[in-house]
Structure 1
Amino acid sequence: MRIGELATHTGSSVRALRHYEHAGVLSSVRQDNGYRWFTPEDIARVRLIRMFVSVGFTLDEIRRFAPCWQEGRGPEDPVDAEVAPEFYRRKLADIDAQLRDLQIIRARLTAQLGELTLAGSTCASHPKGLP
């Protein structure tokens, strides 16, 4: 599929896909006419890239460690010698912090929705805000 089709399937911009390719986390085959050609598997790859970026991974981290996260790899597969346990510990701590923040936000939104539903009011008429 061409880059525009991949963008449509993944919700990414063409510019982002070109950036991913330049960063080495995505690859394509150039056709004779110069167009980039992607495989259907690249849809899942781009979604995985976007998911990791959304939780704070850099493209360099994704490029270095993504082979370990590819589907089909099992625990018996060798891991790159550069993969440091400290990296995983730090990323897990970052994700745990994000989960705590998301739980706080979720609780506040749930409480706000309950209050709005009971009062029949809108957020604008409700003076409580975030701390």
Structure 2
Amino acid sequence: MRIGTFADQAGVSTRALRYYEEKGLLHPERTSAGYRLYTDEDIETVRRIRILLAAGLNSDLVREILPCMVDDGEFLAPGCDDLIAAFEGELQRIDSQIAELHNVRSALTGIIKAGRTRDLRSTESQPRR
């Protein structure tokens, strides 16, 4: 099937499919005229790619681990032993980002609070008419 039909069936845009191909995540066959031809197996590959990207993994890591992922019916599961450690590393990276975002949020909250306090003080210090 061609890219437009495939994109509709896979639930993604044609742009996403071209990106997946550019990143080496998807390898459609080509006709002699250069048109992409997708198979039903490619739909499953796209589903797996979307799950892994939604889990916060970057496309380079997805390309590396995609061949080792197994579908257990409910989730994708690592089929290679060393992937658990890689996923744990990604989880630590995400936890660090969350902690940093909490720090940034606290700082911004402090700045907003200080600004509101200053506005209240300047309003209170103005003479009444």
Task: Tell whether the structures are fold-level matches, with TM greater than 0.5.
Answer: yes
- Where 1:88 maps in the other structure, the secondary structure is helix
State the Cα distance separating 1:84 from its structure 2 match: 5.6
Q: Secondary structure at the match of 1:62?
A: helix
Find the aligned partners of 2:24 and 2:70 in 1 and give their Cα distance.
15
Using the TM superposition, give the Cα deviation of residue 62 of structure 1 relative to its aligned residue in structure 2, in angstroms. Answer: 0.7
Q: Which residue of 2 aligns with 1:44?
A: 44
Shift in Å, 1:92: 5.1
Structure with max Cα Rg: 2
Deviations 1:95-115 (A, max 9, x none): 9xx9xxxxxxxxxxxxxxxxx
Gap runs ≥5 in structure 1: 99-131
Higher strand fraction: Structure 1 or Structure 2?
A: 2
TM-score, normalised to structure 2, is: 0.59
**Shift in Å, 1:88:** 2.2
Which residue of the partner structure matches residue 24 of structure 1?
Answer: 24
1:1-131 equivalences under 5 Å are 1-70=1-70, 79=80, 83=82, 85-91=84-90, 94=94
1:19-49 Cα distance to aligned partner (Å, 9 max, x none)? 0001001001110121001111101110111
Mark the CA change 1:8 to 1:71 in structure 2 (over 3 Å): closer, same or farther.
Answer: same
Name the TM-score, length of structure 1 as normaliser. 0.58
User: What is the CA RMSD across the aligned residues, in angstroms?
Assistant: 2.8
Which residue does the alignment assign to 2:119? Answer: none
Structure showing greater relative contact order (alpha-carbon pairs closer than 8 Å, 6 or more residues apart): 1
In structure 1, distance between residues paired with 2:63 and 2:3: 20
Length, aligned pairs only: 91
Kindly state the Cα deviation for residue 50 of structure 1 after the two structures are TM-superposed: 0.8
Q: What secondary structure, in the 3-state scheme, does the structure 1 residue paired with 2:34 have?
A: coil
C-alpha spacing 1:40/1:84, structure 2 compared with 1 (3 Å): closer
Point out where structure 2 has 5 or more consecutive residues left out of the alignment.
Answer: 73-78, 99-129
